[in-house]
């Protein structure tokens, strides 16, 4: 990890299974390759295992199989150790530190970094992406609106200088306008920071616009994979799996 900007890393997942205790396996052997600096969307209906996939990658739930980030194995490590290897997970429901100020949230996001100058620069960049956070830097995170909290959660993840950014349903509970703005920023971040992004979304339309590749997950298995344009063109097929058009 360089002092200034980290660059994205390639994610290679093979035969990933995960679940919650015996008899409740959610993922049944997923293969997924995300190129460095790519945005990859994972689509699928509720309960397909999208959240579990991200949780397994970040160590929140235990995954089996292989998942490597530029050759470094991610599985079998605690979440804090995965984070220290450059994976920033923005969980569903955002997971901001509600009792801490906006700025403290961002600073704690850079907890594992030792380069003070880099952290200050990263803080400025996050405020650049999300000016509203700069305005509210002294407020507690709990007092922010839903959209602002989501921005804070993404901003906090950026502070880690991640090589891989995992976004879980960033549109959840947000208005379409704010969601669109958020995805625009995610795209900008991906372009400028060269961060690899895996985004899990119900809003397939927006996700496909943002991502270069997409995978459709159903009942713990990928049923459709390909370039975003291809998936979109294959709208008929997707509709069959997703239950809604793209």
Partner 1 sequence: MSGFFQQVVLGLGSGAIYASLALALVLIYRFTDIVNFAQGELAMFSTYIAWQLTAAGVPFWLALPITLAVSFLGGVLIERLVIRPFEGGPELTVVIVTVGLFVFVNALAGLIWSFLVKSVPSPFPDGALDVGGVNISLQTLGTLGVVAAVMGLLFLLFQKTKIGLAMRAVANDPASARLVGIRVGRVLALGWGLSATVGAISGILVAPVLFLDPNLMGGVLVYAFAAATLGGFDSPVGAVVGGLIVGVAETLSGAYVDAIGSDLKIGVPLAIIVVVLLVRPRGLFGHAVVERV
Beginning with the edge strand found earlier in the chain, give each strand of the sheet holding 72-73 in spatial order. 25-34, 11-19, 63-69, 72-73
Q: Which of residues 33-62 bind partner 1 (CB under 8 A)?
A: 58, 60
Taking CB under 8 A as the criterion, the residue among 14, 73, 76, 99 binding partner 1 is: 99
**Closer residue to partner 1 (CB): 90 or 242:** 90
- Nearest distance in Å: CB 39, partner 1: 20
Q: Is 97 in the site for partner 1 (CB under 8 A)?
A: yes
Q: Contact 187/73 with Cβ under 8 angstroms? A: no
The pairing of beta strand 11-19 with beta strand 213-218: unpaired
**Closer residue to partner 1 (CB): 30 or 153:** 153
Q: Is 172 in the site for partner 1 (CB under 8 A)?
A: no
Q: Which stretch binds partner 1 (CB under 8 A): 28-36, 41-49, 100-108, 189-197?
A: 100-108
Tell me the Cα Rg of the chain. Answer: 17
How far apart are the C-alpha atoms of 116 and 7, rounded to whole Å? 18
Q: Among all chains, which residue has been given the structure tokens 């943002």?
A: 210
Q: Is 175 in the site for partner 1 (CB under 8 A)?
A: no
- Nearest distance in Å: CB 213, partner 1: 25
How far apart are the C-alpha atoms of 26 and 204, rounded to whole Å? 21
Q: Which of residues 104-163 bind partner 1 (CB under 8 A)?
A: 104, 107-109, 111-112, 156, 159-160
Q: Contact 238/91 with Cβ under 8 angstroms? A: no
In 3-state terms, what secondary structure has residue 47? coil
* Footprint of partner 1 (CB under 8 A): 58, 60, 78-81, 83-84, 88-89, 91, 95-100, 104, 107-109, 111-112, 156, 159-160
């Amino acid at each position: 990890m360089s002092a200034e900007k980290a660059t994205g890393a390639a994610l290679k997942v093979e035969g990933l299974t995960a679940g919650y205790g015996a008899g409740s396996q959610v993922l049944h052997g997923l293969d997924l390759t995300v190129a460095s600096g790519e945005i990859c969307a994972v689509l699928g209906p509720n309960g397909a295992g999208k959240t579990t996939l991200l949780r397994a990658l970040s160590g929140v739930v235990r995954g089996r199989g292989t998942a490597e980030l530029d050759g470094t194995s991610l599985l079998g490590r605690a979440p804090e150790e995965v984070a220290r290897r450059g994976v920033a997970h923005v969980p569903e429901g955002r997971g901001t530190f509600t009792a801490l100020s906006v700025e403290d949230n961002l600073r704690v996001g850079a907890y594992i970094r030792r380069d003070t100058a880099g952290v200050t620069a990263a803080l400025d960049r996050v405020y650049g992406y999300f000016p509203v956070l700069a305005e509210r830097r002294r407020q507690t995170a709990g007092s922010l609106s839903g959209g602002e909290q989501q921005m804070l959660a993404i901003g906090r993840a950026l502070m880690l200088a991640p090589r891989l950014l995992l976004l879980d349903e960033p549109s959840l509970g947000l208005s379409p306008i704010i969601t669109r703005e958020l995805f625009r920023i995610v795209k900008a971040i991906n372009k400028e920071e060269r961060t690899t992004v895996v985004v899990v979304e119900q809003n397939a339309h927006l996700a496909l616009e943002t991502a270069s590749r997409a995978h459709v997950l159903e009942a713990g298995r990928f049923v459709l994979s390909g370039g975003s344009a291809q998936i979109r063109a294959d709208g008929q097929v997707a509709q069959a799996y997703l239950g809604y058009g793209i």
